[in-house]
Amino acid sequence: MPRRPPGRKSRPKRPPKPPSDGSAHTGRRALGRLPTRAEILDFIAASPAPVGRRDILRAFKVPPEQRVALKGLIKEVERGGSVERGPRRRIEVIEDLPEIGIVEITGVDVDGEMLGRPLAWREATDAPAIYVVAERGAPALGVGERAVVRFVRLDQHSYEARIIRALGGAPDRVLGVFHRDRDGGRLEPTDRKLRTEFRIAEADAAGAGEGDVVLVEVLPTRRLGLPQARVVERIGDSADPRSFSLIAIHAHGIPTGFPAEAVELAETARPVALGARADLRHIPLVTIDGADARDFDDAVWAARDPEQEGGWHVLVAIADVAWYVRPGDALDRAARERGNSVYFPDRVVPMLPEALSNELCSLRPGVDRACMAVHLWLDRDGRVHRHRFQRGLMRSAARLTYEEVQAAADGRPNEATRPLLDTVLEPLYGAWRAFDRARRHRGTLDLDLPERRILLDPGGRVARIEPRQRLDSHRLIEEFMIAANVAAAEELERLRQPCMYRVHDQPDPAKLAALSTFLEGIGVHGLTLARGQSVRPHHFSEILRRAAGTPYATLVSELVLRSQAQAVYSPINLGHFGLALKRYAHFTSPIRRYADLLVHRALIAGHDFGSGALPATEAASFVETGEHVSMTERRAAAAERSAIDRYTAAFLADRVGASFAGRVSGVTRAGLFVTLTETGADGLIPIRTLPDDYYDHDETHHRLVGRRRGRRYTLGDELGVRLAEANTVTGSLLFALVETGDGAARRPHPPHKAKRRRVSTRP
C-alpha cells in the first residue's frame, strides 16, 4: 500500500481549466471518433464535476468498435498522473506534477527507498512525497544526483518516480574547451546555455593542453570570482573537426562502447541455414539506399499480379535481427539502452556492434541473409487487399543507390542498373505509382521542407553544404516501407499480439486555434482553417497547396509543422495523423531502431516462427519501453542537430563579416532567429542589435513590432544579414541586420494590431 506522510495537509483543488481552444467540446461531440489524450484532459478539466467513462463515451460519441481503445487511452491518461479517480471511480484533474519531470535525490528512508524532490515544484505548500524507483535493477543514485523520471501518483500526497535517465548531479560535470594560462587554465563550456567559464588550477588540469575538449567536475570552491573545476577526462582536440561529433556524443550521454559480452555474442554469431525458413533466394530482391549507407536492412521486389488486372505483388524483406539479438541477452540490453543508432556527418554510433550491423544483419549482395519478409498484394489503385509474413532466407541481387536508380528510371542506366531495368526497376516504379495513388486518395500531410547535408573532405572538414535531393526513388522506398509497417501493425492486431505502435496524435487544439488566428490575419483566399471542424491531414495539405508559389509558402509550411504533435512509440494505438493511417508500426529498420526489433519478436511469437520470439511477460513493460525509446529518439535528434550546428559554424567561421540572404525562422523576446538561404544555417539577431526602438513581442502573429517607428519583423520575412560571430565551441551563430532602404524587412504580411509586450533594445 502506498504510504502517506503523517500530518500532511490536503492541497486545495484548483479550478478546472477551460478547453484549450476555447470551445465547449460541442464540435467534437458530433464527430464519433476516438478522442486524443489532450482532448480527454481538456474535457475532464472543463467539467464542473468529476466524470466517468460513460461521460467521455457520450461526449465524443465513440463508436462501439473503438471503446476498448478508449479504455486503454483513459488508463494512459491516468498513468500520466494528471488525473485521479475519486468516489464511484469518477475522474477529475489534479495539477500537481507533470507527467515527465526531474527529481533530485534527497535521502533514503528507513526501508532503504530513495526519496526525491521534484525540481519543478513551485507551490507554496510542501511538495508531495516522492519515492524514486531505479529502472530494471540499475544502481541506486546518490544524494544530490538528479534524474529524468515519469511520475506515477500513488495517492493524494505521494508519487512514485520511475527513472527514465540519470542526469548526474552534485558535483556537476561540464563539457568544454580548455584554454591554458599561467595559473592553470579556464574552461569554455560547449553548452550555449552556460554563460559562465570555470577556473582550473594547474594541479587539476590533468595534463590538458590548449584547445583540448575536456570533461570537468565542478568543485564547491570558487577562485577569482569564477566556479572552480578539475579535469576528469580528455575527449579530443577542438581544432580537429571530428571533435564536433564527440562533443555531441558526450554532451547528450549517448552510449558508445559495447560490453565485452555483447561484442563476443556478435563476433561469434554465424550465418543461418535454410532449415524451416522460406527460400527467397530465387527472387531478385535489391537494396536501394544512400551512397554513403553502411548497413542495408531492407530489400524490395515487385511484379505484376497475374490474378488481378492492374494489380501488383510486392515483397519487402527486412534483416532478421531477432535471430541474433535474443530477449534479455547482453546484445539486447545494449540495444535497448541505446534505443536507436545515431548518425553524424563523420560517423555512426550504431545500436548494434558492427559484426552484426555491418555484416550478418546487413543485406549485402550475393550472400545469403536471414530475413523477415512480408508479401503484399495491391490493386491498381494501390490498396493492399492481403498480405503474408514469412521468416526466410534471401540473397540480394544488387546494392543500388537512390541516384543511380533514378537515373535508370529517367533513361540513363549504368552498368549496375541496365541488367535490372526491365525485370526489377520498372516493376518497382509501377507498384510505387499505385501506392502513390492510394496515398493521394487518403490525403496525407506532405510537408516537403528543405533538408541539407554536410559533405566532408578527406581531412574531416566541411567541403560544402548542399540541399538534400528528394527523388522519386526516395518516395518509392518510403511507400514500400510504409505499406510493410501498416501490414505489421494489422498482423499483430489479428494475432492478438502486443504491438509497439508508431503513433502521431492529432494536433493540439490550442495550437490549431493559434494557427487559425494567424491564417485569418493573412487575409488570403483559401488560407483558412475553420474553427471547430474535425481537422484531417488533407485540410493542411490544401492550405499548403494554396500557399505554394506565394510569398507565404515557407511561412505557412513552418507554422503547419509547428502545429503538429510529435510522433512517439506507444502500445496504445492512436493512429498516425500525418500519414492518415488508423494503425502504424515500425517494422523495417531493426538494425537501427529497437522498436522495430520488438515488432519482429511479436510477429515471430504470433506465427510461431521459432527462436527470438517476444516473451509473454514483455508486454507488461511496453508502456515504459515506448517512453524510453521515444526519449532515445529525441536524444539522438538533439545530438545530431548539435553536431551539425558546430560543423556549420566551422564552415562559416572564415566568412565573419560577410552578408547573406535569410528568412526569419523564429521570433522570441530575445530576438529573431534567421535561417540562411544558402546553407540552411540558423543563428540569432539579438533584439538589442535591432534598430533603436521599443519592441512589442506579438506572440499571436509571431513578430516584433517597434513602437515609435513601426518597424515589423515577422516569422517568414526575408532579411539581409551580416555574420557577426561563428562559435564552433557552442555551434552558435550571431547575425546583425542589414537594413533595406526604409529599415524594414521584406514581407508580404498586412498590418495587425499587436498584443503588446514591451521589450527594449536599450541596455
Q: Is residue 645 part of a domain?
A: no
Query: How many domains are contained in the chain?
Result: 6
CATH code of the domain covering residue 35? 1.10.10.10
E strand map for 334-439? 342-343, 348-349, 368-378, 384-395, 398-401
Cα→Cα distances 666→446, 662, 670, 725, Å: 22, 12, 10, 19
Q: What is the pLDDT of residue 479?
A: 97
Residue 32 pLDDT > 60: yes
Q: At what angle do helices 53-60 and 37-46 cross, to 10 degrees?
A: 110
Q: What is the pLDDT of residue 31?
A: 58
Q: What is the pLDDT of residue 54?
A: 83
Q: Is residue 21 part of a domain?
A: no
State how far the Cα of 326 lies from the Cα of 265, in Å rounded to an integer: 10
Residue 351 pLDDT > 70: yes
The residue among 210, 239, 268 that closes a domain is 239
The residue among 57, 77, 93 that closes a domain is 93
Residue 269 near residue 360, CB atoms below 8 Å: yes
Q: Is residue 118 part of a domain?
A: yes
One domain for residues 345 and 455? yes
Read off the pLDDT of residues 137-155 as tens digits, 9 standing for 90 and up: 555 566 567 788 888 877 6
| More confidently predicted of 220 and 666 | 666
Residue 109 pLDDT > 80: no
One domain for residues 610 and 516? no
Residue in the structure block whose three cell numbers are 521542407 = 449
Mean pLDDT (whole number) for 330-342:
96
Q: H/E/C letters for each residue in 556-583? A: HHHHHHHHCCCCEEECCCCCECCCCECC
Q: Is residue 254 part of a domain?
A: no
Residue 579 near residue 489, CB atoms below 8 Å: no
Mean of per-residue pLDDT scores for the chain = 84
Mean pLDDT (whole number) for 387-416:
96
Give me the domain span that covers residue 547.
506-564
Residue in the structure block whose three cell numbers are 566568412 = 655
State how far the Cα of 711 lies from the Cα of 696, in Å rounded to an integer: 10
Residue 59 pLDDT > 80: yes
Q: What is the pLDDT of residue 124?
A: 40
| More confidently predicted of 146 and 496 | 496
State how far the Cα of 501 lies from the Cα of 533, in Å rounded to an integer: 27
Those residues with Cβ within 8 angstroms of residue 121's Cβ, 6 or more apart along the chain or in another chain: 97, 127
- Strand 158-169 versus strand 129-133 pairing type: parallel
The residue among 437, 425, 432, 434 whose CA lies nearest residue 475 is 432
- Strand 145-155 versus strand 173-181 pairing type: unpaired
One domain for residues 604 and 668? no
One domain for residues 354 and 450? yes
Sequence-ordered alpha helix ranges (H) in 506-621: 509-522, 537-547, 553-563, 594-607
Backbone conformation region of residue 460, classed left if phi is above 0, alpha if psi is from -120 to 50, else beta = left
Q: What is the pLDDT of residue 635?
A: 93
Q: What is the pLDDT of residue 715?
A: 84
State how far the Cα of 349 lies from the Cα of 1, in Å rounded to an integer: 43
Q: What is the pLDDT of residue 101?
A: 80
| More confidently predicted of 20 and 41 | 41
One domain for residues 598 and 465? yes
The residue among 182, 236, 178 whose CA lies nearest residue 211 is 178
| More confidently predicted of 94 and 145 | 145
Give helix then strand counts, H and E, for the chain: 16, 34
| More confidently predicted of 161 and 282 | 282
Residue 616 pLDDT > 80: yes
DSSP letter for 585, please: B
Q: What is the pLDDT of residue 150?
A: 84
DSSP letter for 483, please: H
Q: Is residue 642 part of a domain?
A: no
Residue 525 host element (H or E):
none
One domain for residues 158 and 180? no
| More confidently predicted of 732 and 172 | 732
Read off the pLDDT of residues 546-568 as tens digits, 9 standing for 90 and up: 877 776 777 788 788 888 888 99
Q: What is the pLDDT of residue 483?
A: 97
Residue 540 pLDDT > 90: no
Q: Worst-scoring range by mean pLDDT, 226-240, 348-362, 571-585?
A: 226-240
Q: Beta partners for 502?
A: 569
Mean pLDDT (whole number) for 106-114:
62
Residue 757 near residue 707, CB atoms below 8 Å: no
Percentage of the chain exceeding pLDDT 70? 84
Residue 746 pLDDT > 90: no
One domain for residues 181 and 161? no
CATH code of the domain covering residue 681? 2.40.50.140
Q: Beta partners for 153?
A: 159
Q: Is residue 355 part of a domain?
A: yes
CATH code of the domain covering residue 178? 2.40.50.700
Residue 11 pLDDT > 70: no
One domain for residues 553 and 597? no
Q: Worst-scoring range by mean pLDDT, 213-227, 232-246, 265-279, 688-702?
A: 213-227
Q: What is the pLDDT of residue 623?
A: 93
Backbone conformation region of residue 532, classed left if phi is above 0, alpha if psi is from -120 to 50, else beta = left
One domain for residues 533 and 420? no
The residue among 93, 125, 145 that closes a domain is 93
Residue 376 pLDDT > 50: yes
- Select, from the ranges 45-54, 157-166, 516-525, 667-676, the one with the highest average predicted confidence (pLDDT): 667-676
State how far the Cα of 263 lies from the Cα of 597, in Å rounded to an integer: 19
Q: What is the pLDDT of residue 533?
A: 67
Q: What is the pLDDT of residue 2?
A: 39
Residue 172 near residue 218, CB atoms below 8 Å: yes
Read off the pLDDT of residues 414-444 as tens digits, 9 standing for 90 and up: 999 999 999 999 999 999 999 999 999 998 8
- Select, from the ranges 13-17, 420-424, 532-536, 754-758, the one with the highest average predicted confidence (pLDDT): 420-424
Residue 715 near residue 733, CB atoms below 8 Å: no
Q: Is residue 4 part of a domain?
A: no
One domain for residues 331 and 422? yes
One domain for residues 527 and 612? no
Helix (H, G, I), strand (E, B) or coil at 429: helix
Q: Worst-scoring range by mean pLDDT, 122-131, 235-244, 504-513, 526-535?
A: 122-131
- φ, ψ of residue 223 in degrees (nearest 5): -145, 135
* Confidence class for position 113, pLDDT limits 50, 70, 90: low
| More confidently predicted of 380 and 59 | 380
In degrees to the nearest 10, what's the CA dihedral of 135, 132, 566, 481?
Answer: 10
In degrees to the nearest 10, what's the CA dihedral of 280, 283, 289, 293?
Answer: 50
| More confidently predicted of 81 and 114 | 114
Q: What is the pLDDT of residue 450?
A: 72
Mean pLDDT (whole number) for 494-506:
95
Q: What is the pLDDT of residue 72?
A: 77
One domain for residues 153 and 279? no
Read off the pLDDT of residues 574-600 as tens digits, 9 standing for 90 and up: 999 999 999 999 999 999 999 999 999
Mean pLDDT (whole number) for 465-475:
91
* Confidence class for position 289, pLDDT limits 50, 70, 90: very high
Q: Is residue 245 part of a domain?
A: no
State how far the Cα of 506 lies from the Cα of 82, in Å rounded to an integer: 19
